[in-house]
A and B are shown apart, each in its own frame.
Chain A
Amino acid sequence: MAEKVNQAWTFADVARLSDREIYGKTLVSLGTTNKNIVVLGSDLMYSNRTSDFLEKFPERAFNFGVAEQNMMGAAAGFATCGKIAFVSTFAAFASMRACEQVRTDICYPNLNVKIVATHSGLTMGSGGTTHHATEDLAIVRSFANMTVIVPADAIETEKAVRAAVEQEGPVYIRLGRAAERLVFQNGYPYDFKIGRAITLKSGKDVTLIATGLEVYESIIASDILGKKGIDVGVINMHTIKPIDQETIINVAQSSKLLVTVEEHTVIGGLGSAVCEVVSEKCPVRVLRIGIPDVYTVIGSPEELKDRYGLTGVKIAEKILNIL
């Protein structure tokens, strides 16, 4: 298949690349035409692939060393001067180490800073709790003016990064680490709009509302359940804030059970956001699948996903248990 991805690379390229590799290439593509884009890193540029931009446009790329707070503050300063500042580091550090700078220097004055946080959730595996980012969505979602996006795969990553540039104001994009499985192999190209969820599949018994890596796992879960005669829908909730209330209300009305699935603590992330909508607008039972209220252990990302019940098989099991 040689379908073009925004004329920059082929579908076959995308299938081989991780979210962050696509992010790096997308930034270079954007930076070629938009000279207002500057890119800031904190000694992880070769990890999060902003190194592509650094090598292509060294005058517009700035490494701040291991100093995330300073990097976020400087991004705010750039934005006050009309620049679009892309800032990247691991999600754990973007959301926590520099938390107050993100909230007070970037979100409070509503500045045009795009935080692309990589290695989110459990994707740092053996890095352990210090490098797992399991609270970031809860944290950044609570900041006024912030838009929060979690792409499901590399194709959606590119779309999210491009959409973030088109939208004025702070955006947090949460990426994983490895070459994530492609969700949109058959459905590409599609219309990506910030705040508008994508219904991958409708189902009248159960609807899975998933984000990020868990969209793929939810598709597997829906197939397993489908074979058992349960009609399961899958929603790709790529935008956590502003959350797509209309889609949530629609599926809350048409399904007997909603299940949220996220590689994030069940406190404060997608599950909470969905519950906030249904509890006020259309009360319905919601099962929140995510990481429990614990500090996560060491292991490979795949092992950890299994441990915390975030594989398609485990998701299906959990749903069967409560039906």
Chain B
Amino acid sequence: MKSDSSIVRELEKKSYEMRLKTAIMAEEYGGGCHYGGCFSIAEVLTALYFNILNIYPENPKHPERDRVVLSAGHKDAIYCVILAEKGFVPKEWLHTYNKLDSHLGMHPDMKKIPGCDMSTGSLGHGLSVAVGMALSGKLDKSDYKVFVILGDGELQEGSIWEAAMAASHYKLDNIIVFVDRNMLEFDGETEKIMALEPLKEKWQAFGWNTKEIDGHNIREILDAYESCLEKNDKPNVIIANTTKGKGVSFMENNWKWHYGGMNSEQEEKALKELEKKINEYSM
């Protein structure tokens, strides 16, 4: 895979387009969304869906597809926008977000969203599911990979570490985890609420290949993925250091924007900032 500068630039721009569409969708609904986590994971999801993943929008259940488990299921708004952009989900559905009987809500439902590999929302479940998918892939001698998006607050769930132990025990080098390390959770700072550090060392101690990157730097994301392809019988975790609410000035690093809706002034300001960023990439 090439990670030349034009590809990187395109993906960077795309990540802001996805943020903008997420804001438009969430404000059309009116109640907002989990802006903080959606915006901190924007580059990682954009790099995955528009560059890294082997997926088949015309055949979402293709047996050889790469799997994605959005274990931090509350990042669903931007995930839905991306699945619509890729053609898995009809774009009209975005207008139904969170409404009665919608396919799209605060957390993804695999039975309602084409291209969604697992229903999630309750934190701490996704990595175990990925272990099952990865073992199944090994059993079938398939080459697909299983990508998992974990929030950092989610790492306080004990089940994550049960799964981390199992992935390492079963040598599941087909698992690639991105930890959205934005340092904030619902009630505030992770290190004040229940400290996760030293985080990299924890994963290393569990037997994982461990990398730490700037999670808003597309090139670093692509390079980190490339390095996961060097098989050494270990599962892979990429700790993506991110800024919660990235891209909208008043949301950045503000834990109060874990979830919320904007008033009209905030909305105008947010959309303007995101549009400006997109225009800069277009120049």
* Residues in A lying within 8 Å of B, measured CB to CB: 38, 59-60, 62, 64-65, 67, 69-83, 85, 100-101, 104-105, 108-110
Contact = CB atoms under 8 A, between A and B. Distances in A.
12 contacts: A38-B136, A67-B162, A67-B166, A73-B129, A74-B163, A76-B128, A77-B128, A77-B130, A78-B136, A81-B132, A101-B128, A108-B119
A110 B118 CA distance: 11
Nearest to A104: B122
B135 A78 contact: yes
Nearest to B158: A69
Contacts of A78: 132-133, 135-136
A21 to B, nearest CB: 27
Given A64-B166, A67-B162, A109-B118, A80 B125 contact: no
A73 B139 contact: no
Contacts of A38: 135-136, 139
A38 B125 CA distance: 20
A81 B166 contact: no
B218 interface: no
A75 B129 CA distance: 7
B94 to A, nearest CB: 23
B60 interface: no
Contacts of B122: 100, 104
Among A77, A100, A105, the most chain B Cβ lie within 10 Å of the Cβ of A77
B131 A81 contact: no
Interface string B158-196: 110011011001100000000000000000000000000
Interface centre among B110, B131, B165 (most CB of A within 10 A): B131
Given A70-B166, A73-B127, 9 more contacts: A59-B139, A73-B163, A77-B135, A80-B110, A80-B118, A82-B136, A83-B136, A108-B119, A109-B111
B215 to A, nearest CB: 25
B166 A80 contact: no
A161 B86 CA distance: 42
Interface residues of B, number: 33
A150 B235 CA distance: 39
B119 A70 contact: no
A110 B122 CA distance: 16
A310 to B, nearest CB: 35
B128 A104 contact: no
A109 B120 CA distance: 10
A104 B132 contact: no
A80 B116 CA distance: 11
Contact of B129 (A59, A64, A76): A76
Contact of B131 (A73, A104, A109, A110): A73
B258 to A, nearest CB: 21
Nearest to A59: B139
B137 interface: yes
Contacts of A81: 63, 132-133, 136-137, 140
Contacts of B67: 80
B168 to A, nearest CB: 12
Contacts of A65: 165-166, 169
